[in-house]
Amino acid sequence: MKSLCDNFRKIIFRFQTDSAFADKWLAMIVVGSLFLPSSICGIAIVAAAFYVMADYQRRERAFRTPYMKLLFSTFVLSFFVAASYRNYIGMAMTLMLLAMLVYSMYLRSIMDRVLFHKLLDLACLMSIPAIVVAIVQKAVTFASDPSYRPVSFFINANYFGMMIEFTVLIALYRAYTNRKFIPLYAVIIGMNMLGMYLCGSMSALAAMSCGIIVFLLYKRRYKLSALYVAALLAFFLVNHFLPSIFPRVEAIGSTTDQRISIWHGAIIGISQTPLFGRGLRAYSIIHDSLGTYATYHCHNLYLDCLLNFGVVGCTVFLIFFGWHLRDVLHQVRTHTAGNAVLLFLAALLVTLLHGFTDVTICWTQTGMLFLILFSATGIRAGEARKAAASSARSYSRRLKVSVGYLMKE
């Protein structure tokens, strides 16, 4: 027991004195928590944000990100807008979003390829227990409710589906960047495909498939891309004759009617508060007065952003992400984009496509994983800074040697 306490004290001391050690393990803790219940994930993210804000240098690095201060101010404004409408859930979610933003921008500022790959490998491994839990949930409930959609450690099946979307793309990326372990990543992809089938999210399946195909086409793996498309077509062909295999296809009509009602209410709400919105989860406080379908959000990312943040907030989002995408798209046009940047673009495509029918990105687990993938855009800048620092140290050493030689002369 004494040796355990001594080791714990040593770890705490190293956390306090070795910033690189602390940065690495805190990032690992946050990523690992994303595949656990959202309460654990939330605690980890808030603790990470406090870690950044408690130190001037870390805080300065987080806010050095272009347009970060503008985006941060927009969310602070949204907090007070939500308060003015007594949107208490929106206020709490905005505080969490601020914590996610602060930590993710700091993580982007320190991100390098080695750390990025470690975080992605951990995400792949942590997805396995989540899939196992979903299998158990389905097995336990199948006799009483065959249509039950397991949620694993996530708030509902659609959030589970979005985590699977990202995980499959991550495993595909790591299969290209760590070929020695391709069989392991193939197993992870297979397990997550099983999870996708169990959660029954049509939107997630469609968005994920587009992300996979785009990734494979950019890598010029045309045969593999065609094989995936053929497998999808075969799956839906079989489902046409045996609809019990994937009964969610038959539910498209009813879910579409619900969404039309929601979108109608969202458009009315946007017209009432076009500039600043009503804060996060605004739809949940207006659907009763409008008589539209009752749910938490607009089931459309674009309508939800306009309803929550208004035209002003959405303009800031476009400025922030537009600036960061400018360099990324230039790399794609000039065929200099690395695999990490391609992974982020695939994740962005998946998010935007899924956003037409759902808002699953606006949650601690899904949103934080997306922001971690976004941190890949900081890898090239970080490597350039390290190369410049290494060059400066080399020049300094040569200068000292030259000065010493002249003094001897």
Instruction: State residue 389's pLDDT score.
Output: 46
pLDDT digits (tens, 9 = 90+) for 170-214: 999 999 999 999 999 999 999 999 999 998 888 899 999 999 999
CB atoms under 10 Å from CB of 210, counted, come to 17
- For residue range 132-154, what is the model confidence (pLDDT) as tens digits? 999 999 999 988 888 889 999 99
- State yes or no: pLDDT of 18 exceeds 90: no
Predicted TM-score of the model (pTM): 0.88
Residue 13 pLDDT exceeds 60: no
Instruction: Give the chain's mean pLDDT.
Output: 86
Highest mean pLDDT out of 8-12, 277-281, 292-296: 277-281
Check whether 2 has a pLDDT greater than 70: no
315-369, pLDDT tens digit by residue? 999 999 999 888 888 887 877 778 888 899 999 999 999 999 899 998 999 999 9
Query: pLDDT (tens digit, 9 = 90+) per residue, 373-399?
Result: 999 888 866 555 554 445 445 545 665
Q: Which residue has the higher pLDDT, 303 or 202?
A: 303
Tell me the range of 15-29, 52-66, 369-383 where mean pLDDT is highest.
52-66
Please, is 127 exposed, middle or buried when counting C-beta atoms within 10 Å of its C-beta (0-12, 13-18, 19+)?
Answer: buried
